[in-house]
Amino acid sequence: MKKRIVFIIILVFLKSGIAFPQEENNNIFGFTIGFTEYQVKEKVLNNIRHRGMFFSGGLFYEKIKEFSYQKFELYMIYNKLKSRYDPDKATTAVNLSLNYMYAKKVKDIKDDFCFFLGGVIGLDSYVSFYDNWDDSHGYWLTSYYLGLDAILTYQTSDKSSLFIEFNTPVVALISRPPERILYKMDNPGFSSAIKKLHENLRLTSMHQHFVLNINLGYTFQYFNKFKQSIFWRFMYLDNNMTYSKKINILIHTLGTSFRF
């Protein structure tokens, strides 16, 4: 059912006279709000899927030139989750994402299509508290990464455009909890939490830390003073460090951006 809804929304995007606008303002500040479905599965906690939906939001800054595109973005997701065993939403998940992307225009494929290719550097932090399953510890994945970014834009008029963006980390510094947690409970202090989020940092690549981000959207001008985008974001993460246990995260976000 969910698959159908997503598909219908995308078809609506495609049929709504999409055009790629030439941005009049090269420096764009904006904010984003979304509705996020968050799913996480930790093997160390029985491989049960915890799932929930809630609002998410972020800020961004874009710099657009004729042959290049830069974007700095901060995005945060907060969600209350439950598994099929939990009587209530006892699990809390927070994701903080901070990244900088730089891409060069590689090719004008046709009059309407442009292809950008570049790199992305960022920090992703996923923290979960599974209160019913572990009332003593937090679980985390911290990733400092360097990756690839690709954007394909499709312009249908001077006021609107469709874009699809892919990015994936290629190398990453990863921190995860150990497979066997010895300490009886966590120190809840701020400095201790920051230290914990950086324990066991290891450099790795896609064989242990695979992430795919897809961002599909439609930019248009409805209001006179600013432009808007509506988008669907998808993120799939599969991490399996040798000293830890596997974690999978799947995030879908439907949202809108306001561009000033």
Partner 1 sequence: MKGKPVLIIVILFTSIFSNCLKDGDIKSIFESYIPEQLNDGWEISTPEHEGFDSDKIHRVYEKVFSEDIYPTMHSLLIVRNNKLIAEAYCRDQKERDQFHNLQSVTKSITSILMGIAIDKGFIGSVNKPIYDIIPEYFDNDIRKRNITLYHALTMQTGLDFDNDVNTEELYTNAENSLEYVLSRGLIFLPGTDYHYNDGDPQLISGVIQKVTGKSEEEFALENLFNPLGIDYYQWEKHRDNTTFGAFGLWLKPRDMAKIGKLMEQNGFWDGEQIVSSEWVEESTALRIPSDYYGYYWHNIEHDTGAIYAVGHGGQYIYIVPHVNLVIVTTADPYSDMGALSEDFHIIFNDIIDAIIY
Q: Which segments within the chain are labelled E, that is strand?
A: 27-42, 49-64, 68-81, 91-108, 113-130, 139-155, 161-175, 202-205, 209-220, 227-239, 247-259
Q: Taking CB under 8 A as the criterion, which residues in 143-162 touch partner 1?
A: 152, 154, 156, 162
Q: Which stretch binds partner 1 (CB under 8 A): 6-14, 20-28, 62-70, 71-79?
A: 6-14
Structure tokens at 251: 């995030």
> For residues 86 and 132, is the Cβ–Cβ distance under 8 A?
yes
Residue 224-243 contact track with partner 1, rule CB under 8 A, x = bound: ----------x-x-------
Q: Is 199 in the site for partner 1 (CB under 8 A)?
A: no
Q: Is 207 in the site for partner 1 (CB under 8 A)?
A: no
Backbone angles phi, psi at 201, to 5 degrees: -60, 125
Closer to partner 1 by CB, 82 or 258: give it. Answer: 82
The torsion region of residue 16 among left (phi > 0), alpha (psi -120 to 50) and beta comes to alpha
Residue 17 per-residue DSSP state = -
Which residues bind to partner 1, rule: CB under 8 A?
Answer: 2-3, 6-7, 10-11, 14, 18, 39-41, 43, 45-49, 51, 83-87, 90, 112, 131-137, 152, 154, 156, 162, 164, 181-188, 192, 212, 214, 216, 234, 236, 248, 250, 252
